[in-house]
Chains A and B, each alone.
Chain A
Amino acid sequence: MFKRLLEYVGFEPGRFKARWISGSEGAKFTTTVKEMTETIKSLGPNKKMRDDII
């Protein structure tokens, strides 16, 4: 739901991710983080909600 809302207000898809990872799932955690960093790198720096001047 939240992901859909974020995309609706103009965040690029992929910037928000939620995963259930148990404390015992170390491998899943690393792959998820790797995946996430890859996505973010390919998206480049976030432009939304950056501070503007007043």
Chain B
Amino acid sequence: MESRVVNKGQISELLDKLAKDYNLFAPVKDETMTLFRRVSGAQDVLLDYNNSDISPKGCFLPQNEKTFSYMYTGDSLEINKPEGAQKTVLFGARPCDIKAVLTFDPVFEGVKFGDEYYSSKRENSIIIGLSCTKVLSTCFCYAMGGGPCDITGSDLLLTEIGDKYYVEVITEKGQALVDAYSQIFAKQDTAQLAKDKDELAKKLSGEFVRKVDLTGVKELMDNNFELPYWSGDDQKKCISCGICTYVCPTCHCFDIFDYTTGDFTGDRIRCWDSCMYPEYTLEAGGHNPRPTRKERIRNRFMHKIKYHLDRYNMVGCVGCGRCVIKCPVNIDITKIINDLKEVAQNA
């Protein structure tokens, strides 16, 4: 498809317009944090950021979501579902986080069962990506098939070049959007900008300091469920908090429960849950298939590097590095991958 140009000076105008016409989700500064929130205009948006503290996955799978509300008086039962999603634009998401949304798709729009809540949001939203300008020491998207300027999953991808944004139109949805705001998305000769973007991508791809290589890891995992490795330091130091799963853009597990104020009415809520919690798999009868941190850690990492791959033919990790940054005890997926490789080579 084609490409366009937005002058930096016009980005506020674009954001204000988008906020007026759509539900606009964009990165904002909340004290020390960078988070994706719904914004009312350009004034709240922060585009000069490296990696948001929490990924924008909440746009498609909110931490709390009402699936329906009910009223049950004993005689009559009424169930009301919420309306479908409104038109939404997710603006300024980084390529790794957008790739993560693609790992959600087969889960929620699966072969057997879809998910109306997710699909409705996904169908009604446009994703405007923003290429990275910097590589952090914790980043490793290149090793997971992505890249700092990767277009995968975006409807539009903006790349900051000098005082302009180079805009790549990737999908029909993106095309419709640039046509609707054609006074901002200028039609210009973009040959130079395209070259500059390639240069930037090349420069950034040389800046990764973490050496991660997935080759052979899945094959090792296929044949080795029990490895002494899982009884090592990682499971000893893990504190079973949910940080890694909540900050992870590809973690999609949830819990479902009712929320009532004690009268006849209430809401059924689904909310994020974490496989690192002991109660996650605890059955009512008291049996727990993953009773200790060892099984839980193994399950989480196997899910990322094997199970998701087995099931959906996609690695369940995009290399955003958030779990590496936020883990209180420095459990590091890149170290685990490298260690497993070493185990493989010695086996």
Contacts and interface: CB of A to CB of B under 8 A. Distances in A.
Q: Do A and B bind each other?
A: yes
Interface of A: 51, 54
6 contacts: A51-B261, A54-B62, A54-B64, A54-B65, A54-B66, A54-B269
A51 B260 CA distance: 11
Nearest to B271: A54
Contacts of B64: 54
Nearest to A51: B261
Nearest to A53: B66
A16 B31 CA distance: 31
Interface in B255-270: 261, 269
Contacts of A51: 261
Interface string B54-66: 0000000010111
B contact residues, range:
under 10
Contacts of B261: 51
A36 B135 CA distance: 59
A45 to B, nearest CB: 15
Nearest to A54: B64
Chain B residues touching A, majority SS? strand
A51 B261 CA distance: 10
Contacts of B66: 54
Contacts of A54: 62, 64-66, 269
A28 B207 CA distance: 74
A51 B65 CA distance: 15
A51 B269 CA distance: 14
A-B complex: 6 closest residue pairs judged by Cβ atoms: A54-B64, A54-B66, A54-B65, A54-B62, A51-B261, A54-B269
B174 to A, nearest CB: 30
Interface string B260-287: 0100000001000000000000000000
Contacts of B65: 54
A54 B58 CA distance: 12
A51 to B, nearest CB: 7
A54 B66 CA distance: 8
A51 B62 CA distance: 17
A53 to B, nearest CB: 9
A50 to B, nearest CB: 11
Interface string B24-67: 00000000000000000000000000000000000000101110
A26 B261 CA distance: 32
A54 B261 CA distance: 15
B227 to A, nearest CB: 41
A8 B86 CA distance: 39
A51 B64 CA distance: 13
A51 B263 CA distance: 15
B196 to A, nearest CB: 43
B60 to A, nearest CB: 15
Nearest to B64: A54
A24 to B, nearest CB: 33
A6 B62 CA distance: 30
Interface in B316-335: none
B81 to A, nearest CB: 15
A54 B64 CA distance: 7
Interface in B57-84: 62, 64-66
Nearest to B62: A54
A27 B62 CA distance: 52
A51 B66 CA distance: 14
Contacts of B62: 54
A34 B65 CA distance: 42
Nearest to B261: A51
A49 to B, nearest CB: 12
